[in-house]
């Protein structure tokens, strides 16, 4: 049996996931935990399971805090309503990332992915999880931004560009500019590279919003919505930029 636990602070969501996991005969749910503090106690006193389903934002902190304090070799499948934590999730043994509300079909795919990482009888019992999931790249589709004391979800499809200014990375939409918690390097790892391209050290642009491209004397891009008149493509990025445009 595959031993698993749930970490979820919203009891209705926990009950729904318990019900869905009950559809899989080879999974044994050994615990449902509801907070960072409860999880820290449980993981310090019990044998770690094979698989963990964990929400990210809990009432008393982020679930990342649990496993930064108590390292685990368990496989992780993160569940959350917001996907701005994608990059960090994949640095912490995550093999998949499910956005709420969780659908049975998506859950089954995630469990099947977990099973594909299990060793065969002839292989070693020791698994280097991070090497197994290296190359898995989750695409960032939504970002949570703050507007005063309020939160707003911005779909990445609405973003014309991301840019760095005074050590803060902003995103630009038709409506306005919003600060984010990312670096451009982090965004470059998780954005859809068919749509987004880093033209220089300061900007990542969305091909859907390119209005015009000037090729002389330098490659300069004019976007539908951007924080300044033109964005210059770095000389060392021009060839890659042209290749990206033609794909």
Residue 44's nearest CA partner among 63, 72, 65 is 72
* Tally of structural domains, the chain: 2
One domain, residues 35 and 157? no
One domain, residues 75 and 160? no
Residue 85: which pLDDT band, with cuts at 50, 70 and 90?
low
One domain, residues 173 and 213? yes
Residue 225's CB: how many other CB atoms inside 10 A? 17
Instruction: Give the pairing of strands 203-206 and 2-7.
Output: unpaired
C-alpha 177/C-alpha 237 separation (Å) is: 25
One domain, residues 13 and 109? yes
One domain, residues 97 and 180? no
Which of 10-19, 74-83, 214-223 has the lowest average pLDDT? 74-83
> Among the residues of the chain, which ranges form H helices?
11-21, 36-45, 64-69, 86-91, 104-116, 129-133, 184-190, 238-246
Which of 65-74, 125-134, 169-178 has the lowest average pLDDT? 125-134
> For the domain that residue 235 is a member of, what is the CATH number?
2.40.50.1020
Report which secondary-structure segment, H or E, holds 204: strand 203-206
**pLDDT tens-digit readout, 35-81:** 999 999 999 999 999 999 999 888 888 888 898 899 888 888 888 77
Residue 92's nearest CA partner among 63, 123, 115 is 63
Residue 165's nearest CA partner among 178, 175, 176 is 178
Given 133, 166, 183, the domain boundary residue is 133
Length of the chain: 247
Average pLDDT rounded to a whole number, residues 9-25 = 93
Residue 234: which pLDDT band, with cuts at 50, 70 and 90?
very high
One domain, residues 110 and 47? yes
Do residues 176 and 186 touch, judged by C-beta distance below 8 A?
Answer: no
- Kindly state the DSSP code that residue 15 receives in the 8-state scheme: H
More confident residue, 132 or 141: 141
Beta-bridge mates of residue 153: 144
One domain, residues 82 and 160? no
What are the tokens at 72?
């685990």
pLDDT for 145 equals 80
One domain, residues 19 and 102? yes
One domain, residues 108 and 161? no
One domain, residues 23 and 125? yes
Host domain of residue 69 = 2-133
> For the domain that residue 82 is a member of, what is the CATH number?
3.40.50.2300
One domain, residues 108 and 200? no
One domain, residues 91 and 148? no
Instruction: Give the pairing of strands 161-165 and 150-155.
Output: unpaired
Given 133, 159, 192, the domain boundary residue is 133
Do residues 203 and 232 touch, judged by C-beta distance below 8 A?
Answer: no
Given 92, 109, 133, the domain boundary residue is 133
């Amino acid at each position: 049996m595959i031993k698993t636990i749930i970490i979820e602070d919203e009891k209705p969501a926990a009950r729904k996931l318990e019900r869905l996991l009950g559809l899989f005969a080879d999974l044994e749910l050994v615990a449902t935990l509801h907070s960072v503090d409860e999880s820290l106690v449980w993981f310090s006193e019990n044998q770690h399971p094979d698989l963990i389903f964990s929400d990210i934002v809990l009432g008393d902190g982020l679930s990342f805090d649990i496993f930064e304090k108590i390292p685990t070799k368990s496989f992780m499948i993160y569940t959350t309503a917001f996907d701005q934590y994608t990059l960090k999730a994949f640095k912490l043994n995550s093999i998949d990332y499910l956005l709420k509300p969780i659908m049975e079909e998506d859950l089954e795919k995630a469990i099947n992915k977990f099973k594909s990482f299990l060793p065969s009888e002839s292989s070693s019992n020791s698994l280097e999880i991070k090497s197994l999931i290296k190359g898995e790249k989750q695409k960032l589709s939504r970002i949570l931004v703050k507007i005063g004391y309020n939160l707003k979800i911005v779909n990445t499809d609405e973003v014309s560009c991301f840019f760095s200014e005074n050590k803060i990375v902003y995103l630009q939409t038709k409506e306005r500019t919003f600060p984010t918690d990312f670096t451009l390097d982090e965004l470059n790892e998780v954005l859809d590279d068919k749509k987004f391209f880093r033209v220089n050290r300061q900007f990542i642009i969305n091909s859907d919003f390119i209005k015009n491209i000037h090729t002389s004397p330098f490659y300069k891009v004019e976007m539908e919505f951007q924080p300044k008149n033109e964005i210059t493509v770095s000389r060392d990025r021009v060839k890659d930029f042209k290749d990206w445009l033609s794909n």
